Amino acid sequence: MQSPVGNHRPLEAVELDEGLVAWRCPESGGLWIPAENYWKWRGSLPPEALGDAPEPLEYPVSEYDDAVKLCPESGTLMSRFRVGHGLSFRVDRSNTGGIWLDGGEWETLRSGNLHRSIHRIFTSPWQRAIRHEERDASYHRQLVRRLGEDLFSRVQSLRDELENHPNRAIALAYLNAISSPGGNRPRW
């Protein structure tokens, strides 16, 4: 099998974890994990090993992250999936189910215990959550740009304080009255 990146050198067999054989690109450090190897390894893990993941470490994005990659097994174009959840790189997946990770990505996924659930990255709920995170971050940036850091910080603090306050409705009615013509005050 040939590497899908760089000078397309032959891949070398490596054991990433006990029982997980993959193929490493000697030039880029990228990894090809055949689907069969991944599922066999994952099936051998004890249930407690599949628990919640800690925050993964962040590694620099590979120079090959944007490269079009062909599957080392089938020669077909691989699809890219954003990892998200605080990680800026993408994982490539073949229609064979095999997974390509650029150099350093396995270590990043492993540091957050995400390596045991790579298959979830390719699901609609995972990708939808990434889009929601991005939408929320964009909204946050717009608010900061329009209000300024100081006012945004104070409004955010007030929002947090009012979230579970028993008189939240009264406080919101008061704030809303500021913008009404004549500054009408709510009657309690």
Task: Please tell me the distance from the alpha carbon of residue 72 to that of residue 10, in angstroms, as a whole number.
Answer: 10
Tokens of 107: 């270590």
pLDDT for 88 equals 84
What percent of the chain has a predicted confidence (pLDDT) above 70? 87
What rounded mean pLDDT belongs to the chain?
87
Q: Are strands 31-33 and 20-24 parallel, antiparallel or unpaired?
A: antiparallel
Q: Provide CB contacts within 8 A for 104, sequence distance 6+.
A: 29, 59, 60, 62
- Which is higher by pLDDT, 173 or 21? 21
pLDDT for 57 equals 61
- Window from 28-32, 48-52, 96-100, 154-158 with minimum mean pLDDT: 48-52
pLDDT for 178 equals 73
Whether the per-residue pLDDT at 68 is higher than 70: the answer is yes
pLDDT digits (tens, 9 = 90+) for 92-148: 999 999 999 999 999 999 988 889 999 999 999 999 999 998 899 899 999 999 999
Predicted TM-score of the model (pTM): 0.73
Give the pLDDT band (50/70/90) at residue 91: very high
Tokens of 93: 């997946």
Whether the per-residue pLDDT at 46 is higher than 80: the answer is yes
Whether the per-residue pLDDT at 172 is higher than 90: the answer is no
